[in-house]
Chain A
Amino acid sequence: NAGVTQTPKFRVLKTGQSMTLLCAQDMNHEYMYWYRQDPGMGLRLIHYSVGEGTTAKGEVPDGYNVSRLKKQNFLLGLESAAPSQTSVYFCASSYTRAREYEKLFFGSGTQLSVL
């Protein structure tokens, strides 16, 4: 059982380049999320999705776009990378049953450096 899988695990970009982070989950979860983790800042929500075809902004959405074309996949895009987007990115998913959707299942993360 793979759970939540993120690709790539590491990436180095130059300022202005674009890339897409891929997230796949095999638990049939409705909710999916993208977080970034920065030292001392904890995990901050970038975008999330409550179902196939839906997306919503989180706490720090600027500079990112997302798509949820299939229930099992959630893509995070950076159109023009900036050094401030250097971070560790985590994808997560969860159920929608009452009191269950807070229990997030996380991928292992993507370390992104923007030079």
Chain B
Amino acid sequence: DQQVKQNSPSLSVQEGRISILNCDYTNSMFDYFLWYKKYPAEGPTFLISISSIKDKNEDGRFTVFLNKSAKHLSLHIVPSQPGDSAVYFCAARRAGNMLTFGGGTRLMVKP
């Protein structure tokens, strides 16, 4: 039973527009959430994170929103650039435990 789900396997967006990647989780004990980005033939790299005590965290073009009541988080990329084309994984952590990853969403930003 996947505790962290990314229901959209892929997303296509026009350059300059907003990309919204979604992630749902089932375990209310998760207290820290992260997004990782992965290019082909490379390992994932950390992108942005958010603690459960916050509902928003921003880093440049990337913003993560957390809705604890809905057990939902989203990653917004504004404006989207072709170099953002990659697979994005969300991950969640319960205190004292290791990260649980979602299945990933492939983002394609078209020029």
Residues of A near any B CB (own CB < 8 A) = 4, 33, 35, 40-45, 48, 58-59, 90, 92, 99, 102-109
B49 touches A103 (CB 8 A): yes
| Distance in angstroms between the alpha carbons of A44 and B1 in the assembled complex | 12
6 closest cross-chain pairs (CB), A and B: A106-B43, A42-B101, A43-B101, A42-B103, A103-B46, A40-B103
Give chain A nearest CB distance to B104 CB in angstroms: 6
User: Which residues in A have their C-beta under 8 angstroms from that of B91?
Assistant: 43, 102
A4 partner, pick from B34, B43, B46, B93, beta carbons under 8 A: B43
A45 neighbours in B (Cβ, 8 Å): 98-99
Chain B interface residues (CB < 8 Å from chain A): 2, 4, 6, 9, 32, 34, 36, 41-46, 49, 51, 89, 91, 93, 98-104
Report whether A103 and B103 are in contact in the complex, using a CB–CB cutoff of 8 Å.
Answer: no
Say whether A107 contacts B9, CB under 8 Å. Answer: no
A41-B103, A43-B101 known; A99-B41 Cβ under 8 A:
no
B98-A42 in contact (CB<8A): no
Quote the shortest CB–CB distance from A68 to chain B (angstroms).
Answer: 15
Provided the pairs A58-B98, A102-B34, A102-B93 are in contact, do residues A109 and B41 lie with their beta carbons within 8 angstroms?
yes
> Are A102's CB and B103's CB within 8 A?
no
Q: Are B43 and A90 in contact (CB under 8 A)?
A: yes
CA distance A6 to B34 in the complex (A): 24
Q: Is the CB of A90 within 8 A of B44?
A: yes
Most buried by B among A4, A42, A44, A45: A42
| Residue in B9, B32, B89 whose beta carbon sits within 8 Å of that of A43 in the complex | B89
Docked pose: A65 CA to B49 CA in angstroms: 31
Q: Is the Cβ of B45 less than 8 Å from the Cβ of A106? A: yes
What are 30 A-B contacts defined by CB distance under 8 Å?
Answer: A4-B43, A35-B101, A40-B9, A41-B103, A42-B6, A42-B101, A43-B89, A43-B101, A44-B101, A45-B98, A59-B100, A90-B44, A92-B43, A99-B32, A99-B51, A102-B32, A102-B34, A102-B49, A102-B93, A102-B99, A103-B34, A103-B46, A103-B49, A104-B44, A105-B46, A106-B43, A106-B44, A106-B45, A108-B41, A108-B42
Residues of A within 8 Å of B102, CB to CB, are 42
